[in-house]
Amino acid sequence: MQQIWTALSAHHEGVKSRPILSLFDAERAAGFSARLGGMLFDYSKTNIDAEARGLLIDLAEAAGVAEKREAMFSGAKINETEGRAVLHTALRNMDRPVMVDGKDVTPALRETHALMQAFVRDVRGGRFAGQGGAITDVVNIGIGGSDLGPAMAWLALQPYADGPRCHFVSNVDGAHIHDTLRGLNPETTLVIVASKTFTTIETMTNAETARRWMAEKVSDPAAQFAAVSTAADKTAAFGIDASRVFGFEDWVGGRYSMWGPIGLSLMLGVGPEAFDDFLAGGAAMDAHFRKAPFAQNLPVLLALVGIWHNQVCGHATRAVLPYDQRLSRLPAYLQQLEMESNGKRVAMDGSDLALNSGPVVWGEPGTNGQHAFYQLIHQGTRTVPCEFLVAREGHEPDLAHQHLLLVANCLAQSEALLRGRSLEEAMAIMAKKGLTGAELERQARHRVFPGNRPSTTLAYPQLTPHVLGQIIALYEHRVFVEGVILGINSYDQWGVELGKELAVALQPILEGKESAEGKDGSTRQLVDFLKG
Ligand SMILES: O=P(O)(O)OC[C@H]1O[C@](O)(CO)[C@@H](O)[C@@H]1O
């Protein structure tokens, strides 16, 4: 592989100052795009040419992406630091047998899915009610992967929301649960405690708070609680009846778990049919990922663009910019998916990573970002590769003119990043405004856009449940491919542990029960200040 990395780096050196615009002959756009059904992934506005693409594909082949992909889908224990299979894909394709430790896991998946559907139908049909009437509101208490997926999708699928209203509480900051519960009626609220481990301090603390809130108004608060977890013993200890506990196995990673019981709140909000459409979208992307040649394979190409920008060109961040307000939480969702998966400093075998790990992922929906941080993207000294997402159609036919404006803005941004504005062009504009001499040039220089800034665009017909499923599975597989190329384990998250341990140790210090001796001077000063 080293030879391929060296060739890529040499190729980049040779082309890095070439204008991307110069690559556009009649074939460029179609030749550097890939499609799946109605979805179009256009990466032609990057500096990747046929040679770079060939080398990147060589890299994917040399890293064993195809073999490791099949190992993942077939239930091999590719999460080697935890000794676990990685089978979120089985949650959206329950008809294809998958063996783990010699046993087909799909019958149990189908059973849990059917139990979820029955419970959801009972809640939505009023057969399962609160102690003051039909359930009007669902509060999902979870954090990280037990929150971000359903919370993101609940916003994304608002046009399909025809059940109880969903709310999401994650932060241990009491303000979050306080502000969420303030407007709700405990007698008609269902609380879902969503935690893979059922030990996460934030979630368990919020669950206790919700139970106390419920107990003030209803005689049997536990009757309005459901749980989603891999730990049946712990949900029972919390007092949640087994009929409302939806289990899953440890081979579903937290940040990959929204397809199964962690999606219960979403299924309640949009209904089992829309939820199944979401699963089918994910399964369609899986089938494409397994079958399509690398040069037409959306997840592979998205990953290779990522590797090119981060590890080859050295751009440390990437911006995810959905021109789709309902995807406003997609960047936050992808931050966990990508950064918790590929933010690793050692390779699978424990050796130091020779390359940079995954990038910093950030973003906000367009057009809002344009009026906030795009200034830096256009004229800052660093290059930020941008990933635009946009639908051909919105869900508001009477506001089609606004959708058109949205699309125009999305296309304008990627065009501006590509094309830029030269000093001559800026001087011509300022000259027309009457400026001359040194002042003309000084003012014009502020109005220059260097351009040649890379972006990709994922365009899709409409943000339906099916398309959302495709998009999420696309990004999941992108993370997988990047992880395989970097040689890391994308499915553990040891980097979150130290902070958790130190927080537990700091609690008694803040309560004044233990001394801060042994802590560094800054921490001691802050403890003194914050203890009050
Ligand atoms: O579902 P749980 O076990 O409460 O964990 C929540 C989140 O915490 C993490 O373990 C990180 O701390 C995530 O990976 C996970 O999604």
Residue of 216, 291, 371, 517 marked catalytic: 371
Query: For ligand 1, what atom is nearest to the CA of residue 203?
Result: 4
pLDDT value of position 106: 97
Averaged confidence pLDDT in the chain: 97
> Cα of 401 to ligand 1 centre, how many Å?
42
> pLDDT tens digits for 198-226?
999 999 999 999 999 999 999 999 999 99
Low-confidence ranges of the chain (pLDDT < 70): none
The tokens for 511 are 């309560």
Domain ranges of the chain: 2-23+32-62+292-418+453-492, 105-272, 420-451, 495-531
514 is a catalytic site residue: no
Among protein residues, the one whose CA lies closest to atom 4 of ligand 1 = 195
pLDDT on residue 324: 98
Nearest protein Cα to ligand 1, atom 13: 144
Is residue 150 within 8 A of residue 166, CB to CB? The reply is yes
Q: How far apart are CA 86 and CA 301, in angstroms?
A: 22
Nearest-CA residue for atom 14 of ligand 1: 254
What CATH number is given for 105-272 in this structure?
A: 3.40.50.10490
432 is catalytic: no
Q: Tell me, yes or no, if the two domains 2-23+32-62+292-418+453-492 and 105-272 fold the same way.
A: yes
Over residues 174-201, the pLDDT tens digits come to: 999 999 999 999 999 999 999 999 999 9
Distance 320 CA to ligand 1 centre (A): 23
d(C-alpha 81, C-alpha 492), whole Å: 7
| CB neighbour class for 41 (10 Å; exposed up to 12, middle 13-18, buried from 19) | buried
Active site residue 500: yes
Residue nearest to atom 12 of ligand 1 (CA): 496
Q: Which of 494, 24, 500, 93 is nearest to 287 (CA)?
A: 93
**What is the percent of the chain where pLDDT is above 70?**
100
Dihedral sign computed on CA atoms, order 178, 179, 180, 181: positive
pLDDT digits (tens, 9 = 90+) for 341-377: 999 999 999 999 999 999 999 999 999 999 999 999 9
Ligand 1 surroundings by CB, under 6 angstroms: 143-146, 195-197, 200, 203, 254-255, 340, 493, 496
Residue 520: phi and psi, rounded to 5, are -70, 165
Q: Which CATH superfamily is domain 2-23+32-62+292-418+453-492 in?
A: Glucose-6-phosphate isomerase like protein; domain 1 (3.40.50.10490)
What confidence score (pLDDT) does residue 87 get?
98
Indicate if ipTM > 0.85. yes
Neighbours of 405 (CB within 10 A): 12
